[in-house]
Structure 1
Amino acid sequence: MNTKKQIGKSGIYINPIGLGTNAVGGHNLYPNLDEEAGKELVRVAIENGVNFIDTAYLYGPGRSEELVGEVLKETGKRENIVLATKGSPKFVGQELQNDNTPAFLKQAVEDSLKRLQTDYIDLFYIHYPDGVTPGYEAVGTLKELKDQGKIRAIGLSNFSLDQLKEANRDGYVDVYQGEYNLLQRSAEKEILPYTAEQNISFIPFFPLASGLLAGKYNKEMTFNDLRANMPHLQGEEFEKNLAKVEQLREIAHAKQAEVAHVVLAWYLTRDSIDAVIPGAKRADQVLNNLKTLDVQLTENEIAKIDSIFR
């Protein structure tokens, strides 16, 4: 089953299983990344029908975009790929700040185009609000860039519901990316109903809760990277979550699928979730994520998963 989904109202169609590339050149996020392995996983994704690739200036910073750009150049498949990136962070000395001013966003898009070695970006997100620039003004700048053909769709990430509403005042927002997974469902209360009503695609980040919902962890595991400070991976909370994952394993087992496939397939049954972008560190994980497309959940299974994680 490979039904393409439209991103918001953009007229851009994607395979709903995309690829998040923060482990491709994201040296500031993960220690000891192998850049060749990173390029290989992008290559394997493209060769196997993934056409939605998500990167950001912040991964690297800038390095992920460069590596993704190199692969797109060498494969010659740029026009088959829906390329998403994000801008707003900048370094002021050592300090990271966000900037949503028109001048900065225009420059950020130009810089991303260079690193990605392309003359258009399919989906450009404002990565974080800056707390100063009115959202509709920032989005208006992206609309200008869209009219110039430099970007094809407009996204926002990490905006609160109020910020999202203000930014979408003129109805220009196509995509919203925010935290959502079976353990962190607060988006269901407000943001998901709004995105559904506005025909905005919601793309969840941390869809597998940093690996917990992939069903690969056990009680003995400890973490020494960015997972080390995550409450859902510590102590009693971790044990409770592992018990819930075991209930998912029964459903997965019956389908001859893995826990991660069942979780990702469940997200795609939600209103306005048109794609998921699980990350990967190795090429075989990319191929594995694609097996999600073979999982068909029944209404009963959808309801059961909902209730396990209520």
Structure 2
Amino acid sequence: MNTRTTIGRTGIEVNPIGLGTNAVGGHNIYPDLDEEKGKNVVRTAIENGMDFLDTAFIYGPEHSEELTGAVVKEYDRSSVVIATKGAHEFKGNEVVINNSPMFLKQQVENSLKRLQTDYIDLYYIHFPDEDTPKDEAVGALKELKDEGKIRSIGVSNFSLEQLKQANKDGYVGVIQSEYNLFKREAEKELLPYVQENGISFVPYFPLASGLLAGKYNRDTTFAEDDIRSGSPLFQGENFYHNLKKVEQVKDIAADKNADTAHVVLAWYLTHDAIDTIIPGAKRKDQVIDNLNTLNVELTQTDIQKISDIFS
């Protein structure tokens, strides 16, 4: 598999395997995170040619950007591609989503400070709000792009209609949304639209909370406070049914002397709309392990077979 790819029409070139950094300083997502270990995860990524780092204001909040920025400062800035996201506004104890031009511009300025950089390679509107016309929100980011503060514009969690409005003037380069072999709704309309319009699609939850990594069996149980215990994918007969599907991918992986997770991630990269994937990592060895995806070669038969298993 190619070790370099260009993200859609952004002109930004990266390793197709990026690093999702929500476990780097994301104390509000994972309890008991060790910050030095988190920084070492980012160092390991950069030192092994994984140059696409995905963070966000809300991871921490703020802390993931700060730690990521501190590590990037140790290297040549131009050799690393940073994506971050904003839209969450804290009002007392309440968190609201805000896409207003003024708020987004301030969010970008704040992210630049936390990341200790003078430009952000890819800036996403993290979630859509209900009130702001999406082309106006993107228009504010276009102004910052013209100033050199961001290199490309992305949106995240937008519906097809919201994306169309956001891309009215053709400024959107990337969309990040949930997509995996169990959740393929995006294939109906979203993926065809992004492909037609040269927008790159970055899937999140590509391994469905570990289910597609093949690390669970019928006896696996999850604590009540575990996100998986509330997910329909992990419930009763549905869970067993899903495990059977994963077993079939395990067989394909075994034939290739590869891990199930690597075969699944490689499958996404065969889609024309998907240029990069950003699996997260809590440990250095996981970063190195994710890179093994690049060694997986899938034939057209493999690609179709995997698609059929999860049709």
The normalised TM-score by structure 1 is 0.98
2:162 and 2:170 mapped to 1: Cα distance?
13
Where 1:287 maps in the other structure, the secondary structure is: helix
Q: Determine the structure 2 residue equivalent to 1:65.
A: 65
Partner of 2:142: 143
Length, aligned pairs only: 309
Q: Is the contact between residue 14 and residue 51 of structure 1 (CA under 8 Å) also seen in structure 2?
A: yes
* 1:95 to partner: Cα distance: 1.2
Please state if 1:22 is matched with 2:27: no
Code of the residue aligned with 2:23 in structure 1: it is A
The answer as to 2:85 corresponding to 1:86 is yes
Asked whether the 8 Å contact 1:161–1:191 carries over to 2, the reply is yes
Identity %: 65
Write the deviation string for residues 211-260 of structure 1: whole angstroms up to 9, x where unpaired. 11111112222233333321112222111111111000011001110000
Helix, strand or coil: the match of 1:204?
strand
Q: Give the deviation of 1:92 after TM superposition.
A: 1.0
Match of 1:167 in 2: 166
Task: Tell me, yes or no, if the aligned pair for 1:30 and 1:226 is still in contact at 8 Å.
Answer: no
What are structure 1's unaligned runs of at least 5 residues?
none
Superposition misfits of 4+ residues, deviation over 6 angstroms: none
1:101-155 Cα distance to aligned partner (Å, 9 max, x none): 1110010001000111111000000000111000000000010000000000000
Deviation at 1:90, TM superposition (A): 1.3
* Greater mean deviation of Cα atoms: 219-228 or 126-135: 219-228
Alpha-carbon distance in structure 1 between the residues aligned to 2:277 and 2:34 = 24
In structure 2, C-alpha distance between the alignment counterparts of 1:24 and 1:220, rounded to whole Å:
30
Matched, 1:305 2:306: yes
3-state DSSP class of the match of 1:203?
strand
Residue in structure 2 matched with residue 47 of structure 1 by the alignment: 47
Corresponding residue number in structure 1 for 2:200: 201
Shift of 1:305: 0.1
Q: Where do 1:220-231 residues align within 5 Å?
A: 220-224=219-223, 225-231=226-232
Give the distance between the partners of 1:28 and 1:212, measured in 2 at CA.
23
> 1:5: how far off?
1.4
Q: Secondary structure at the match of 2:73?
A: helix
AA aligned opposite 1:261: H
**Secondary structure at 2:45's aligned position in 1?**
helix
Change (3 A) 1:147 1:157: same
Which runs of 5 or more residues in structure 2 are unaligned? Answer: none
SS in structure 2 of the partner of residue 266 of structure 1: helix
- What is the DSSP-based 3-state SS (H/G/I as helix, E as strand, rest coil) of the residue aligned with 1:155? strand
Equivalence for 1:13: 13
The TM-score, its normalising length taken from structure 2, stands at 0.98
CA RMSD of superposed structures (Å)? 0.9
**Aligned twin of 1:255:** 256
